[in-house]
Amino acid sequence: MSINKFYAVFGLGKYGLAVAKELIENGAEVLAVDINENIVNSAIDFIPVCKCADITDPDVIQELGISNADVVIVAMADNLEASVMAITLCKEAGVPTIIAKCASEMHRKIMLKVGADKVVFPENESGIRLAKNLLSSGFVDIVELSKDVSMVEIDIKPEWVGKSLIDLNLRKKYALNVVAIKNGDSVSIDVDPTLPLKKGTELIVVVNSDKLSKLK
C-alpha cells in the first residue's frame, strides 16, 4: 500500500475518522463517507472529499466511483447489516482490498465470509495504526488477527542466514508458523522450507500473541 493509492473510508466515528485523517496527512487521496449529515459537516474541514450518503445503496456505490478505489475501509462495527452490505457491494464493484472493523469474533467471521480481505478489532488496532500500516510496504510489523493470534513481519536473525526453516525448526522454538517470505518488494507464500535463508530476508509469521516476547 502507499500514498499513491485511492482510499475510501465508510463511517466517520472515532476509528474511521482517525484512519481518514492519518491517510490525508500523509498525502493520500481519500474519500470519506457517512450517512450522518452532522458528522460529515464537522469532518469536512480536515477531510476535503467528504460525502453524506448511504453506502448500502448500490446506486450510491456506483455514483461515488468506489470501483476506482484501491482500498476501502468499512468502519461501522456498530452496524453489522450495513457493514455486510457495504463489503458485498465493494466486492461486486471490484475493489481489490476491503478492510472492515468488527465488534466481535462472530462479526469477524461473517465479514470475512462476505468478502472482507482483513478484519480488525478496534480495541487491538487503532485507526492511526491501520493507516500507517496501509501506507507501509503492504505488510505490517504486527497485525492482531484476533485477541490471541498475531501476524508479524520479522527480520531474520544474523545466525539464521544460510540455514533453512527445517534447520531452524522455528515452530518448535518459537511456536510460530511461517506463512510467507519477503525479499525486498517480493513476497512469496509458496514457502520452501529446504531453501537457505538469505541476508535481508523477512519472514511473515503467525504466532500466539503471548509468545511475541520470544521473538524480540
Domain ranges of the chain: 6-136, 144-215
Task: Assign 27 a pLDDT band (cuts: 50, 70, 90).
Answer: confident
Residues 117 and 100 sit within 8 Å (Cβ to Cβ): no
Residue 173 identity (one-letter amino acid):
K
- Give yes or no for residue 96 having a pLDDT over 60: yes
pLDDT, average across residues 157-172: 90
CATH 3.40.350.10, applies to 6-136: no
Give the pLDDT score at 51: 96
Mean pLDDT across 28-57: 94
The pTM assigned to this predicted structure is 0.61
Is the pLDDT at 176 greater than 70, yes or no? yes
**Average pLDDT score, the chain:** 84
Give CA 20 to chain center in angstroms.
14
CATH number of 144-215: 3.30.70.1450
DSSP state of 158: G
487521496: which residue's cell? 29
Please state, in angstroms and rounded to a whole number, the distance separating the CA atoms of residues 17 and 23. 10
Residue type, 133: N
Residues 136-167, buried b or exposed e (16+ Cβ, 10 A)? eeebbebbbbeeeebbbbbebeeebeeeebee
pLDDT at 135: 59
